[in-house]
Structure 1
Amino acid sequence: MQRLALRARLKAGCEELYDREHATIPAELEEAMREHGVYSWRIWRDGLDLFHFVEVEDYAALQEALKDNAADQAWQARMNRLLDGDFDKDSCGLKLVWEMR
């Protein structure tokens, strides 16, 4: 299993809308994500900064599996309008510098 931290940034003024949009995600999107190895996906927001923590079997395989998924494409279009730049789906995540075990 992979654990990744990802980041994105919201456009100013989109904070509350982003939070509301994420109150629930489409069931078909969650089903597809779970089917393709997502164990959990958490998002924290600090002002305009978004930090994602993803636990997934294989992130690259997930991205490949979802690239033509209609539910994911619709969700990405909804979310990308709120972001300051597109979410980098090809990112390997933030570099882990330190961890306390």
Structure 2
Amino acid sequence: MERLALRTRLRPGCEEIYDAEHARIPAELEQAMREHGVHSWRIYRDGLDLFHFVEVDDYAALQAALRDHPADRAWQARMNRLLDGDFDKESGGLRLVWEMA
């Protein structure tokens, strides 16, 4: 299993909308993510900065599987309007510097 961190940034003024949109994600999106190996996906927000912590069997395979999935395409369109730059699905994530296990 892979554990990775991702970073995105909100457009100013979109904080409350983003939080509200994530109060409940579409069931078909969650189902697709779980079917393609997502064990957990957490998002932390500090002002405009978003930090995602993902536990997934294979992140590259997940992104390939969801690339044309209707639920993911709809969700990305909804979220990308709130982000300062689109969500980069090709990103390998943040580099782990230190961990206390």
- Please indicate, yes or no, whether the TM-score normalized by the shorter chain is above 0.5: yes
Deviations 1:69-88 (A, max 9, x none): 00000000000000000111
State the superposition RMSD in angstroms: 0.4
Is structure 2 residue 81 aligned with structure 1 residue 81? yes
Q: Which runs of 4+ in 1 moved over 6 A?
A: none
Mapped to 2, the partners of 1:88 and 1:68 lie a distance apart of 15
Mapped to 2, the partners of 1:21 and 1:93 lie a distance apart of 23
Q: Name 1:64's counterpart in structure 2.
A: 64
Shift of 1:100: 1.0
Q: Name 1:5's counterpart in structure 2.
A: 5
Q: Name 1:92's counterpart in structure 2.
A: 92
Unpaired stretches in structure 2, ≥5 consecutive residues: none
Is structure 2 residue 52 aligned with structure 1 residue 49? no
Mapped to 2, the partners of 1:31 and 1:47 lie a distance apart of 29
Unpaired stretches in structure 1, ≥5 consecutive residues: none
TM-score by length of 2: 0.99
Deviations 1:23-82 (A, max 9, x none): 000000000000000000000000000000000000000000000100000000000000
Identity of aligned residues (%): 80
